[in-house]
Structure 1
Amino acid sequence: MKAIQKGNVVEVFVAIDADQLIVNPVIDSAKQHDVPIEYVQSKNELGKACGIDVLASAVGIIREK
C-alpha cells in the first residue's frame, strides 16, 4: 500500500478468492492513485506466478527506477 501511495506501483494483481478485508484497502488505494487492477482466479495461482511457495492475495508490480 505504501508503494502504491508513493506512486511506485504500475499495476496491481488481486486474487478473486482472497479475503475482502485484506484486498479492499489495496483495491481502494489503487483506484485512488489510478493504478490498473487485474484479477486472477486464486491466491495459489497468484503466488505461483510470483515464484513464491505461499498464497498471495494481492501483488503490486513496482516501477523500475
Structure 2
Amino acid sequence: MRVQDIREIAQRMAIPTSKLKKGELIRVIQRTEGNRQCFDSGQSGQCGQRECLWADDCN
C-alpha cells in the first residue's frame, strides 16, 4: 500500500501524519484500532492476523 493511501486512512481516523514513516504510521493506526502493533516487527509469521489490512507489506 502506498504511503499516501496510509496517510488518508490515518487522517480519517484523526491521526496526525506529519513526520511519521510508513511503519510508524501503520503501528499508530493499529494501536488506535485496538490491535496489536506488530507491523514490520519480524513477527508476521506468528501474529495470526491474515485478514490484516497491512499483511501484504508486513514481515
TM-score by length of 1: 0.31
Structure with greater helix share of residues: 2
Structure with greater strand share of residues: 1
Compare relative contact order (CA 8 Å, sep 6+) and give the higher one, 1 or 2. 1
TM-score by length of 2: 0.34
